Structure 1
Amino acid sequence: MQATQADFTVLFRLLSGVVVLPLAELARAFPDEKLDSDAEDAWQSWLERFAARVSAEAREPELRVAEMKAANPKYIPRNWILFEAYDAAERGDYAPIHGLLAMLSRPYDEQPEMEDAYFRQSPSWARSTGGLAFMS
Protein backbone atom coordinates (compact mmCIF):
# COMPACT_ATOMS: atom_id res chain seq x y z
CA MET A 1 0.00 0.00 0.00
CA GLN A 2 2.75 2.41 0.90
CA ALA A 3 4.77 1.73 -2.25
CA THR A 4 1.84 2.76 -4.46
CA GLN A 5 0.84 5.69 -2.23
CA ALA A 6 -2.67 4.33 -1.85
CA ASP A 7 -5.11 6.63 -0.13
CA PHE A 8 -6.14 4.48 2.82
CA THR A 9 -9.44 6.28 3.46
CA VAL A 10 -10.61 5.80 -0.12
CA LEU A 11 -9.17 2.29 -0.42
CA PHE A 12 -10.73 0.81 2.72
CA ARG A 13 -14.07 2.45 2.03
CA LEU A 14 -14.07 0.92 -1.46
CA LEU A 15 -13.11 -2.48 -0.06
CA SER A 16 -15.95 -2.32 2.44
CA GLY A 17 -18.63 -2.36 -0.22
CA VAL A 18 -18.16 -5.69 -1.91
CA VAL A 19 -16.89 -9.22 -1.50
CA VAL A 20 -14.71 -9.21 -4.62
CA LEU A 21 -13.65 -5.96 -6.23
CA PRO A 22 -11.93 -5.71 -9.61
CA LEU A 23 -8.66 -3.83 -9.42
CA ALA A 24 -9.99 -1.19 -11.83
CA GLU A 25 -12.59 -0.23 -9.22
CA LEU A 26 -9.80 0.79 -6.81
CA ALA A 27 -8.22 3.29 -9.21
CA ARG A 28 -9.45 6.35 -7.35
CA ALA A 29 -7.38 5.29 -4.31
CA PHE A 30 -4.10 5.82 -6.17
CA PRO A 31 -2.32 9.00 -7.27
CA ASP A 32 -3.38 9.96 -10.76
CA GLU A 33 -5.50 6.78 -10.81
CA LYS A 34 -2.82 4.62 -12.38
CA LEU A 35 -0.36 1.92 -11.38
CA ASP A 36 2.64 0.45 -13.13
CA SER A 37 2.48 -3.22 -14.12
CA ASP A 38 4.46 -4.45 -11.07
CA ALA A 39 2.16 -2.56 -8.73
CA GLU A 40 -0.90 -3.85 -10.57
CA ASP A 41 0.35 -7.43 -10.18
CA ALA A 42 1.04 -6.92 -6.47
CA TRP A 43 -2.38 -5.39 -5.88
CA GLN A 44 -4.13 -8.10 -7.89
CA SER A 45 -2.42 -10.74 -5.75
CA TRP A 46 -3.44 -8.89 -2.58
CA LEU A 47 -7.04 -8.61 -3.79
CA GLU A 48 -7.16 -12.35 -4.47
CA ARG A 49 -5.95 -13.06 -0.91
CA PHE A 50 -8.47 -10.55 0.44
CA ALA A 51 -11.31 -12.17 -1.52
CA ALA A 52 -10.28 -15.64 -0.29
CA ARG A 53 -10.28 -14.45 3.31
CA VAL A 54 -13.65 -12.76 2.94
CA SER A 55 -15.09 -15.88 1.33
CA ALA A 56 -13.78 -18.04 4.17
CA GLU A 57 -15.51 -15.99 6.86
CA ALA A 58 -18.49 -17.70 8.39
CA ARG A 59 -20.78 -14.69 8.47
CA GLU A 60 -23.17 -12.85 6.25
CA PRO A 61 -21.47 -10.59 3.68
CA GLU A 62 -23.93 -7.81 4.54
CA LEU A 63 -22.68 -7.83 8.15
CA ARG A 64 -19.06 -7.46 7.05
CA VAL A 65 -19.98 -4.64 4.68
CA ALA A 66 -21.91 -2.83 7.43
CA GLU A 67 -19.04 -3.25 9.91
CA MET A 68 -16.43 -2.01 7.45
CA LYS A 69 -18.54 0.99 6.45
CA ALA A 70 -19.11 1.81 10.14
CA ALA A 71 -15.33 1.78 10.71
CA ASN A 72 -14.25 3.57 7.52
CA PRO A 73 -15.65 7.04 6.92
CA LYS A 74 -16.14 8.02 3.33
CA TYR A 75 -15.26 11.68 3.89
CA ILE A 76 -12.56 13.15 6.10
CA PRO A 77 -11.36 16.77 6.51
CA ARG A 78 -8.22 16.64 4.40
CA ASN A 79 -5.79 19.56 4.42
CA TRP A 80 -6.33 20.39 0.75
CA ILE A 81 -10.11 20.38 1.15
CA LEU A 82 -9.91 22.72 4.12
CA PHE A 83 -7.45 24.97 2.30
CA GLU A 84 -9.85 25.40 -0.62
CA ALA A 85 -12.69 26.28 1.77
CA TYR A 86 -10.53 28.73 3.77
CA ASP A 87 -9.31 30.33 0.57
CA ALA A 88 -12.88 30.85 -0.68
CA ALA A 89 -13.91 32.25 2.72
CA GLU A 90 -11.09 34.80 2.55
CA ARG A 91 -12.67 36.01 -0.69
CA GLY A 92 -16.07 36.26 1.01
CA ASP A 93 -17.48 32.99 -0.36
CA TYR A 94 -18.66 30.89 2.59
CA ALA A 95 -20.55 28.31 0.52
CA PRO A 96 -17.63 25.82 0.57
CA ILE A 97 -17.44 26.06 4.38
CA HIS A 98 -21.16 25.40 4.68
CA GLY A 99 -20.90 22.51 2.20
CA LEU A 100 -18.05 20.94 4.17
CA LEU A 101 -19.96 21.31 7.41
CA ALA A 102 -22.91 19.48 5.88
CA MET A 103 -20.69 16.77 4.35
CA LEU A 104 -18.59 16.20 7.46
CA SER A 105 -21.62 16.05 9.73
CA ARG A 106 -22.38 12.72 7.99
CA PRO A 107 -18.92 11.33 7.07
CA TYR A 108 -20.04 7.68 6.89
CA ASP A 109 -23.04 8.31 4.65
CA GLU A 110 -23.15 8.01 0.90
CA GLN A 111 -23.31 11.54 -0.50
CA PRO A 112 -23.20 11.19 -4.28
CA GLU A 113 -23.19 14.94 -4.81
CA MET A 114 -19.86 15.15 -2.93
CA GLU A 115 -18.16 12.05 -4.32
CA ASP A 116 -16.36 13.42 -7.37
CA ALA A 117 -15.02 16.42 -5.50
CA TYR A 118 -14.01 14.83 -2.19
CA PHE A 119 -13.89 11.01 -2.35
CA ARG A 120 -10.57 10.79 -4.11
CA GLN A 121 -6.83 10.96 -3.83
CA SER A 122 -5.37 14.38 -3.09
CA PRO A 123 -4.93 16.46 -6.25
CA SER A 124 -1.38 16.72 -7.57
CA TRP A 125 -1.11 20.42 -6.71
CA ALA A 126 -1.79 19.62 -3.02
CA ARG A 127 0.77 16.79 -2.90
CA SER A 128 3.53 19.27 -3.70
CA THR A 129 2.32 22.29 -1.73
CA GLY A 130 4.01 23.05 1.58
CA GLY A 131 1.62 22.76 4.50
CA LEU A 132 -0.81 20.69 2.47
CA ALA A 133 1.25 17.72 1.37
CA PHE A 134 1.46 16.18 4.84
CA MET A 135 -1.70 14.22 5.68
CA SER A 136 -3.50 15.26 2.52
Structure 2
Amino acid sequence: MPIARRLELIQYTKQKNCFIVEDDYDSEYRYEGYPIPSIQGLAPENVIYVGTFSKILSPALRIGYLILPEKLVDSCRKEKHISDLHTETLTQLALERFIEEGQLLKHIRNVLANMQSVKISI
Protein backbone atom coordinates (compact mmCIF):
# COMPACT_ATOMS: atom_id res chain seq x y z
CA MET A 1 0.00 0.00 0.00
CA PRO A 2 1.49 3.37 -0.96
CA ILE A 3 2.48 5.69 1.89
CA ALA A 4 -0.26 8.23 1.06
CA ARG A 5 -2.91 5.53 1.35
CA ARG A 6 -1.40 4.33 4.64
CA LEU A 7 -1.66 7.85 6.05
CA GLU A 8 -5.30 8.08 4.93
CA LEU A 9 -6.05 4.82 6.70
CA ILE A 10 -4.39 6.06 9.89
CA GLN A 11 -6.44 9.25 9.73
CA TYR A 12 -9.62 7.19 9.33
CA THR A 13 -8.84 5.10 12.43
CA LYS A 14 -8.28 8.25 14.46
CA GLN A 15 -11.61 9.71 13.31
CA LYS A 16 -13.54 6.49 13.97
CA ASN A 17 -11.64 5.57 17.16
CA CYS A 18 -10.79 2.10 15.89
CA PHE A 19 -7.72 0.01 15.11
CA ILE A 20 -5.92 -1.34 12.07
CA VAL A 21 -4.86 -4.99 12.21
CA GLU A 22 -1.64 -5.26 10.24
CA ASP A 23 -0.27 -8.65 9.23
CA ASP A 24 3.13 -7.83 7.79
CA TYR A 25 4.12 -11.47 7.24
CA ASP A 26 7.17 -10.93 5.02
CA SER A 27 8.46 -7.48 5.95
CA GLU A 28 11.94 -8.80 6.75
CA TYR A 29 12.46 -10.05 3.20
CA ARG A 30 12.79 -7.59 0.36
CA TYR A 31 14.01 -8.68 -3.05
CA GLU A 32 14.88 -5.15 -4.10
CA GLY A 33 14.70 -1.62 -2.80
CA TYR A 34 14.22 -0.42 0.73
CA PRO A 35 11.64 -1.94 3.07
CA ILE A 36 8.30 -0.17 3.13
CA PRO A 37 7.60 1.11 6.65
CA SER A 38 4.87 -0.74 8.50
CA ILE A 39 1.70 1.12 9.37
CA GLN A 40 2.42 0.21 12.99
CA GLY A 41 5.67 2.15 12.79
CA LEU A 42 3.78 5.20 11.60
CA ALA A 43 0.97 5.06 14.19
CA PRO A 44 1.63 2.54 16.97
CA GLU A 45 -1.33 3.79 19.00
CA ASN A 46 -3.74 2.82 16.18
CA VAL A 47 -2.34 -0.51 14.99
CA ILE A 48 -2.47 -4.10 16.21
CA TYR A 49 0.57 -5.64 14.53
CA VAL A 50 0.43 -9.40 14.01
CA GLY A 51 3.48 -11.48 13.24
CA THR A 52 4.92 -14.97 13.24
CA PHE A 53 8.34 -16.53 13.26
CA SER A 54 7.26 -19.21 10.78
CA LYS A 55 8.60 -17.47 7.70
CA ILE A 56 11.83 -16.05 9.11
CA LEU A 57 12.85 -19.09 11.18
CA SER A 58 10.80 -22.23 10.67
CA PRO A 59 7.17 -23.15 10.01
CA ALA A 60 7.51 -25.80 12.72
CA LEU A 61 8.18 -23.14 15.37
CA ARG A 62 4.48 -22.14 15.52
CA ILE A 63 5.03 -18.99 17.57
CA GLY A 64 3.25 -15.77 16.73
CA TYR A 65 3.13 -12.39 18.39
CA LEU A 66 1.16 -9.19 18.70
CA ILE A 67 2.54 -5.69 19.04
CA LEU A 68 -0.26 -3.77 20.67
CA PRO A 69 -1.17 -0.20 21.49
CA GLU A 70 -0.44 0.28 25.20
CA LYS A 71 -4.13 0.62 26.06
CA LEU A 72 -4.84 -2.92 24.76
CA VAL A 73 -2.01 -4.79 26.49
CA ASP A 74 -3.77 -5.67 29.76
CA SER A 75 -7.02 -6.81 28.16
CA CYS A 76 -5.21 -8.90 25.54
CA ARG A 77 -2.99 -10.44 28.20
CA LYS A 78 -6.13 -11.50 30.12
CA GLU A 79 -7.74 -12.93 26.98
CA LYS A 80 -4.57 -14.87 26.17
CA HIS A 81 -4.50 -16.31 29.66
CA ILE A 82 -8.14 -17.38 29.47
CA SER A 83 -8.02 -18.84 25.97
CA ASP A 84 -4.57 -20.46 25.81
CA LEU A 85 -3.20 -21.99 28.99
CA HIS A 86 -1.22 -24.65 27.12
CA THR A 87 1.39 -22.54 25.32
CA GLU A 88 4.70 -24.38 25.36
CA THR A 89 7.16 -22.36 27.47
CA LEU A 90 10.60 -23.81 26.70
CA THR A 91 10.50 -22.87 23.00
CA GLN A 92 9.36 -19.34 23.89
CA LEU A 93 12.22 -18.92 26.36
CA ALA A 94 14.74 -20.21 23.81
CA LEU A 95 13.37 -17.81 21.19
CA GLU A 96 13.52 -14.94 23.69
CA ARG A 97 17.20 -15.63 24.31
CA PHE A 98 17.84 -15.99 20.55
CA ILE A 99 16.34 -12.53 20.00
CA GLU A 100 17.99 -10.86 23.02
CA GLU A 101 21.43 -12.12 21.98
CA GLY A 102 21.00 -10.60 18.53
CA GLN A 103 20.87 -13.96 16.78
CA LEU A 104 17.54 -13.29 15.04
CA LEU A 105 18.85 -10.09 13.48
CA LYS A 106 22.05 -11.88 12.45
CA HIS A 107 19.99 -14.70 10.90
CA ILE A 108 17.82 -12.26 8.91
CA ARG A 109 20.91 -10.42 7.64
CA ASN A 110 22.52 -13.71 6.55
CA VAL A 111 19.39 -14.83 4.73
CA LEU A 112 19.10 -11.47 2.96
CA ALA A 113 22.78 -11.58 1.97
CA ASN A 114 22.30 -15.07 0.56
CA MET A 115 19.16 -14.03 -1.31
CA GLN A 116 21.01 -11.13 -2.95
CA SER A 117 23.91 -13.33 -4.02
CA VAL A 118 21.70 -15.88 -5.79
CA LYS A 119 21.18 -15.14 -9.47
CA ILE A 120 18.18 -16.73 -11.11
CA SER A 121 18.36 -17.35 -14.82
CA ILE A 122 15.81 -18.89 -17.13
Does the pair score TM above 0.5?
A: no
Greater helix proportion: 1
Structure with more contact order per residue of length (Cα contacts < 8 Å, sep ≥ 6): 1
TM-score relative to the length of structure 1: 0.28
Name the TM-score, length of structure 2 as normaliser. 0.30
